[in-house]
Chain A
Amino acid sequence: MAQVITRPAPAAPRGRPRGRRAWRDILVGWSFILPNFAGFLLFTIIPMLTAFALAFLEWDSYGDPEWVGLDNFARMLGDENFHVALRNTLFYAAGHIPLTLAAALGLAMALNRKLRGVPFFRTAAFFPYITSLVAVAVVWNMLFNPTAGPINQVLEAIGVSEPPRWVASKDWAMPAVIITSVWRDMGYYMVLYLAGLQTIPKEYYEAARVDGANAWQRFWGITVPSLRPTTFFVAVMLTIQSFKVLDLIVVMTDGGPGRSTLVLAQLVYREGITEGRFGYSSAIALVLFLIVLTVTVVQFRINERRSAS
């Protein structure tokens, strides 16, 4: 979001409109906005506000809605599925965020040079991101096949005698999902990092070289600090993306084996759409939203403090 509002629009007039010209502008302005706004209001804003209200209601597909205050939230405290889903979501985020960030930065560093063929490599690195999730999940499920999958064959070849059973085991299913998602998403964030790298003046590096700094020192002394705005933006995006993870899990493991990869968004789906418990599912959705919001606000604060110092 940080980059959305880069250019301010010319200010809209405040106060009451005066004269025919002003009324005409209102009509013309709204006529442009209305086709999109009607759909947006009906299918995004209203459901959003409804979700908020539903969290305080008891309502399933058969009965009438009934106000129950915070009961839905109290119920969550005792719901083991919720605890498991929350833990799994945190696990996923803890793996997905740092690994994707590191992989994206690594790719961007490697591809930020003027060599013939670099555009091809960039394309290759980006392509997984726009490949459909179903294809990604099917292929990786087979790569992760415990007995004859290529990944375990490689692991055995390099001396791992009992490689993990990946998606077939409760302990390794989530790491498998994380690896798949890092592979899929790194190209997207690489594009953002490449844009960031291009804003660093070359003179910085030349000056550091003259002062005798080696590549490692140049990386930590120049590249990392200069990329802070990009890293901040990438971290926020990754956080939001991680906490709402849904489709990859649904397609790849469907929450299994057991509940080992059940995540919050999936619980919302199951409770709300499969089971028809609209109130309870909306309460979980609200918690999900609040977590995302809190983490984002905290990241903003940390970024502010660091930029100030």
Chain B
Amino acid sequence: MTALVRRVLAYAALTVMAALVLVPFAWMLSSSLKRDNEVFTVPIQWIPNELRWSNFVDIWERIPLLTYLGNSAFLSVTITVLQVLSGSFAAYGFSKVRFPGRDALFLAYIATIAVPWQAYMVPQYIMMQKADLTNTHLAIILLQAFGAFGVFLMRQYYLSIPDELCEAARIDGLSEYGIYWRIMLPLSKPALASLALLTFVNTWNDYMGPFIYLTDNDLWTVQLGLRSFIGQYDAEYAMMMTGATLSVLPILAVFLLGQRYFIQGIATSGLKG
């Protein structure tokens, strides 16, 4: 009997906690289905009188949301593909090929992680300005696709794959590139998934990169578009929440599909992208 009571208490505590964590999302969702003047009511109305699904139709006409979503998707996919390919490729060199200077070079990679990006964003900006790449997607791609993070995560995983496996493949006549492509890549699927998901979500959510580089409305990402919508239409509370909900949905879908890999990526590397 006491076991039952304890279990009920545990669930009660967990539910209260989850409610506290999730309340902002509940508020976002509920407000996204209201009229603008119903958002701030005293007392709070958690379930709107009338669910205005039309908000989710109207917003596409109020702001060029389709363009924004397209830009976000384009940047996220391109950067993720480049990061995964170049990161796993370099990680193979750092873990399975032996040559002098390799470890010193890897140390340089590690050292840069300690330097906050905020400390060198200005020189990056000057470079892009000189190269005439400001206000292009290319600037964002170049700056974000070759991070050290992917190299770490993949190297970490490759080190857990025994060298004997590569040695056997070499004896069988496979080239190093063949070993990478036919043995390492298939074996490292979980790590690849972690890296891909973390990179995708980071790029999708990134605000400062697009904020610094992209001035043309046509190039904007969802995050920039949403932020400027708020600046422009200060009182359209419901519409803002509709936009926020729509911007979170793709991430929710990606996250729920690949949760396991997210958590593994974080727990094994202990690093953020």
Which residues of chain A have a CB within 8 Å of any CB of chain B? 1-7, 9-17, 22, 25-26, 28-33, 35-40, 42-48, 50-51, 54, 107, 110-111, 113, 115, 117-118, 120-121, 123-128, 130-136, 138-140, 142-143, 145, 147-150, 153, 183, 187-188, 191-192, 194-195, 233, 237, 240, 243-244, 246-247, 250-251, 265, 268-269, 272-273, 278, 281-282, 285-286, 288-289, 292-293, 296
Q: Bound state CA distance, A3 and B156, in angstroms?
A: 10
- In the complex with contacts A12-B99, A296-B114, A278-B160 CB distance below 8 A: no
CB–CB A5/B110 < 8 A: yes
Residue of B nearest to A133 (CB): B207
Report if B227 contacts A (CB, 8 A): yes
A27 to chain B, nearest CB (A): 9
Q: Bound state CA distance, A48 and B123, in angstroms?
A: 8
Report if B51 contacts A (CB, 8 A): no
Q: Bound state CA distance, A292 and B226, in angstroms?
A: 32
Contacts between the two chains (Cβ within 8 Å), count: 298
Chain A residues in 8 Å Cβ range of B101: 12
Chain A residues in 8 Å Cβ range of B169: none
B104 to chain A, nearest CB (A): 9
- In the complex with contacts A272-B121, A273-B121, A285-B120, A4-B103 CB distance below 8 A: no
Chain A residues in 8 Å Cβ range of B204: 132
Our pick among B27, B121, B251 for the contact of A139 (Cβ within 8 Å) is B27
A sample of 7 cross-chain residue pairs with beta-carbon separation below 8 angstroms, ordered by A number, consists of A4-B270, A4-B271, A9-B94, A110-B17, A192-B270, A244-B119, A247-B208
Nearest 6 CB-CB pairings of A with B: A39-B146, A32-B93, A272-B122, A148-B40, A36-B90, A244-B116
CB–CB B102/A12 < 8 A: yes
CB–CB A48/B120 < 8 A: yes
- In the complex with contacts A30-B99, A134-B227, A113-B123 CB distance below 8 A: no
Chain A residues in 8 Å Cβ range of B155: 9
CB–CB B97/A32 < 8 A: yes
CB–CB B44/A246 < 8 A: no
Report if B183 contacts A (CB, 8 A): no
A34 to chain B, nearest CB (A): 8
Chain B residues in 8 Å Cβ range of A51: 119-120, 122-123
- In the complex with contacts A39-B145, A130-B262, A45-B112 CB distance below 8 A: yes
Q: Bound state CA distance, A141 and B97, in angstroms?
A: 52
Report if B241 contacts A (CB, 8 A): yes
CB–CB B44/A150 < 8 A: yes
Q: Bound state CA distance, A39 and B160, in angstroms?
A: 27
A18 to chain B, nearest CB (A): 11
Chain B residues in 8 Å Cβ range of A140: 24
Q: Bound state CA distance, A131 and B270, in angstroms?
A: 19
CB–CB A251/B227 < 8 A: yes
Chain B residues in 8 Å Cβ range of A123: 256, 259
Q: Would you give the 0/1 interface string for B89-120, flagging 1 where the beta carbon is closer than 8 Å to chain A?
A: 11011110111111101101110111111111
Report if B147 contacts A (CB, 8 A): yes
Chain B residues in 8 Å Cβ range of A272: 121-122, 125
Chain B residues in 8 Å Cβ range of A289: 115-116, 119
Q: Would you give the 0/1 interface string for B151-190, flagging 1 where the beta carbon is closer than 8 Å to chain A?
A: 1100110011001000000000000100010000000000
- In the complex with contacts A6-B156, A9-B95, A244-B118, A44-B90 CB distance below 8 A: no
